[in-house]
A and B are shown apart, each in its own frame.
Chain A
């Protein structure tokens, strides 16, 4: 146990890459190599994980801080079937986000450093088994997010970056209060930041129900803000709309999953009576995610804000899966976290691509662009289908499990009604995604794209750019990252058991499962 584990490499590689970039190595290349290495390592771990037991693997555990009055902090890393898929998700989305970033972006070495820092923070949070590190790795990623939106963002980036950062920091502080409360209600000798030790202590000595009822809302609001639970979601759509695509991919795809992961790992198992008491409230809020955020998404007239709202709406499925707290529901939520990470990254990346190439983000001003950019149209359609939960793509596998789980769980107030609302959410998604495809890629092309097309047609040669206003992804390097994400989604969609046989044993070890 007290030996180094391969997990530490996942942190050291991006860190090394950052140091190389500071030492004036070519930024994009270094970042790509580092993220590629991380992707390879995480794939190897995924294949090598002893799935049958569902226990923690590759643990490393060193004493870190023993300060008088502070519960001991340990450098404790390890992954199980719940966190390992998220590690893989982090690696693949990071690689894609770096690959889609332009090489000639201004101040490129800073840009790639911040992307790597964000990814490092997410990775660290997922492999930490110590609440202290779990928390600070996540926070670690917020300042790079602030800078990424502020420096390279679009539209009103200043307001958006301040709003996102302060909102998320406020959420984190509330979360911190909840975590401190959780640890400090224990008698001094039992206080620890170690998740495993804390869980096993709490299994034998649960906290008084009245205290749990106070602690759980702190955790729920803290995690809820970070993930965009209704009504704490208002930071997300403008933030994502202003963020550079790679930052939105990393945040919506990976970093946000931190909060759902925290619900699964800490909030619900450790404060379970509090969870039971607050379940109706949680359910009411997630219905808000489906209906309120879903209907708002329908009303959006611009591509980036629509994708931003849709990513908020989809958090409803994750919360529903977690709220079931049975094996199938939670496993579904874990699969869906990966699936949504892939589809959100795809959508944010492609929406950035479309916006930049078309020079436009309003649906009303676009149309018929499939003719100009057939590859983009195909990629975007795949991404939309993934988000809609079309069978064969990963989201379907997760969503179906969540539906079954919520039927089986007999949730309070609406019972099976939540599954129906969730399915209605899928219908809403289909409506706005298909409408987006229609109004961007089909129908009449606005006049301003036409003349150039005519020029291209008369020139007739392959070499001339089709229309300067709207070009397709052409080189392999340009669509490779999207194809990679789509492939991952297809593999999980057609063969969900590949992921499930890792996820399920670990989920079934969670305490208090129904």
Chain B
């Protein structure tokens, strides 16, 4: 007999899976219009969103303790649903519709979302692997969807090979951890680690392998090389999905692992330096390599690597094993910084990619110089793109400023001065390439003066995103309901060391 709470907390995933399958079948048997499928998918997401929003965030284990519901799970569920809604709407309404299989192109992101949502609530390495593969495999298809297009094929192959490689690392790491600790459950491994103060080499090796796998997902240096190519080749909506959804999925896993399980003093002595090096390398490489880019999607690809660096600084700042700070509340601030950063990143990234999706149909290409004089052809598109870039650059009063300010605040407060230095350096370097497109849009004279007209839905969504970018920056209180209490619930520390599991 399945306890009622299991069904309840599993409802979002359940609803979305059944809904997605229903849509696929309906499409096959009744040959629905793509538009109808899009509306259907959006309705399903809305239903899920409402159901999830109703749950309170009291930490609970469910589904034979393989899943965990807490503030972070709730936040990331809502986050992934919002991402999915934007992706699906963009995919069929804004950008050039795909040439074949329009129905599946709408439905597949739903499966990805189910995978990502499960990922947010996972409490077990088995479930982690399965949900990650569910998300990733649907991404393989989505990235290479325009299979007649060479760049799309290249992107698909690159993503497939590197994705497979990262899964291999992950499985290897899980095997090590299981082999030594005797469990795949997060709380059991946590207890094992807290019971054994000496960190075995095998555990840290397994941990590093798992982190490598996650590093691919969040595109941190040195596992970033797929990002610019895949970003350039994939359809715009999928690029945005990868850039926001996949990154957030990797981050919640990263936080569940390093903050939930491996936050003991001896393990932190291994992962904090590793992540710090990754963060610094991402900050530098992402932001400096974006400077010479002429293609906007590649530029945003590199910049997203840079943003991973900023977020990693906050993740490191959320560790309770850092010795520097005397104040216990400070660790929680690190997690808040991650969630705020993700919200601001979602708003800015989707604004940018919606603009790019519109422009791809109207301009000869997506190089910076193609933007020339956009402010005169379509003030709304230019303003939306400019504000999204300004927000990504972290300039007040836009939402990106609050996010960056929180990262700076966390880094200072936890004594991460080296990271703080590189954070500020990277933020300054980033200004340079974010200002380039703004220059093209506002200063250069247009080659083609015809105004670009937007349909009502697109201009409505863009206006709403602009308003949100400004409001969440100037009045950060507006997202407090979303981010306050979005913390990971800590695993209970065992009162006495648990018995060594014999095997």
Chain A positions near chain B (C-beta within 8 angstroms): 64-70, 73, 110, 135-136, 139-140, 142-143, 146-147, 150-151, 158, 161-162, 165-166, 169-170, 173-174, 176-177, 180-181, 184, 187-188
Contact = CB atoms under 8 A, between A and B. Distances in A.
Residue of B332, B396, B412 with highest tally of chain A CB at under 10 A: B396
Interface in B34-58: none
Interface string B395-426: 11100010001101110110000001000100
Nearest to A168: B431
B428 interface: yes
Given A166-B431, A166-B432, A188-B329, A64 B408 contact: no
Residue of A68, A140, A170 with highest tally of chain B CB at under 10 A: A68
Nearest to B414: A184
Nearest to B424: A173
A142 B485 CA distance: 35
Contacts of B396: 135-136, 139-140
Nearest to B393: A169
Interface of B: 327, 329-330, 332-333, 336-337, 340, 375, 390, 395-397, 401, 405-406, 408-410, 412-413, 420, 424, 427-428, 431-432, 435, 438-439, 442-443, 474-477, 479-480, 483-485
Given A68-B484, A68-B485, A139-B395, A147 B420 contact: no
Contacts of B410: 69
A165 B476 contact: no
Given A136-B396, A140-B397, A180 B480 contact: no
A188 B327 contact: yes
Given A136-B397, A139-B397, A180-B408, A67 B477 contact: yes
Nearest to A171: B428
B75 to A, nearest CB: 12
A143 B397 contact: no
Given A162-B432, A173-B428, A150 B476 contact: no
A184 B431 contact: no
Given A139-B395, A151-B442, A188-B329, A65 B428 contact: no
A16 B36 CA distance: 42
A262 to B, nearest CB: 15
Minimum-distance CB pairs A-B, first 9: A69-B333, A136-B396, A139-B396, A65-B477, A65-B476, A69-B336, A170-B428, A68-B484, A184-B413
B412 A184 contact: yes
Contacts of B428: 166, 169-170, 173
Dominant secondary structure of chain B at its interface with chain A: helix
B409 A180 contact: yes
A142 B428 CA distance: 14
Nearest to A149: B443
15 contacts: A64-B477, A70-B406, A139-B396, A146-B438, A147-B438, A151-B442, A158-B443, A161-B439, A162-B432, A169-B428, A176-B405, A176-B408, A177-B408, A177-B420, A184-B412
Given A150-B442, A184-B413, A69 B408 contact: no
Given A67-B477, A180-B405, 9 more contacts: A64-B477, A69-B337, A136-B396, A165-B435, A166-B435, A169-B431, A174-B424, A177-B408, A187-B327
A150 B436 CA distance: 11
A67 B439 contact: no
Contacts of A176: 405, 408
B332 A68 contact: yes
A177 B476 contact: no
A143 B395 CA distance: 9
B409 A70 contact: yes
Contacts of A146: 435, 438
B439 A150 contact: yes
Contacts of A173: 424, 427-428
Nearest to A69: B333
A68 B338 CA distance: 12
Nearest to B409: A180
B397 A73 contact: no
Contacts of A143: 390, 395
A166 B427 CA distance: 10
Contacts, number: 101
B443 A65 contact: no
Contacts of B442: 147, 150-151
Contacts of A162: 432, 435, 439
Contacts of B435: 146, 162, 165-166
Contacts of A135: 396
A161 B375 CA distance: 18
Nearest to B325: A184
Given A68-B484, A136-B397, A188-B329, A177 B412 contact: yes
B224 to A, nearest CB: 24
A166 B429 CA distance: 8
Contact of B475 (A65, A169, A170, A174): A65
Contacts of A158: 439, 443
A146 B424 CA distance: 20
A64 B476 CA distance: 8
B412 A181 contact: yes
Contacts of A69: 329-330, 332-333, 336-337, 406, 409-410
Contacts of B408: 176-177, 180
A67 B443 contact: no
A248 to B, nearest CB: 18
A21 to B, nearest CB: 12
Contact of B395 (A68, A73, A151, A169): A169
A151 B330 CA distance: 45
Nearest to A153: B443
A165 B431 contact: yes
A106 to B, nearest CB: 11
A495 B162 CA distance: 75
A137 to B, nearest CB: 8
Given A176-B408, A177-B408, A70 B476 contact: yes
Contacts of B485: 68
Contact of A136 (B401, B412, B431, B480): B401
Residue of A135, A146, A161 with highest tally of chain B CB at under 10 A: A146
A139 B398 CA distance: 10
Nearest to A169: B431
Contacts of B480: 65-68
Residue of B330, B397, B484 with highest tally of chain A CB at under 10 A: B397
B340 A67 contact: yes
A123 B427 CA distance: 26
Contacts of B375: 110
A68 B443 contact: no
Contacts of A188: 327, 329-330
Contacts of A174: 424
B201 to A, nearest CB: 36
A135 B474 CA distance: 12
A118 to B, nearest CB: 14
Contacts of A151: 442-443
Contacts of A73: 476
A218 to B, nearest CB: 10
A174 B412 CA distance: 12
A328 B410 CA distance: 40
Contacts of B438: 146-147
B348 to A, nearest CB: 15
Contacts of A139: 395-397, 401
A139 B401 CA distance: 10
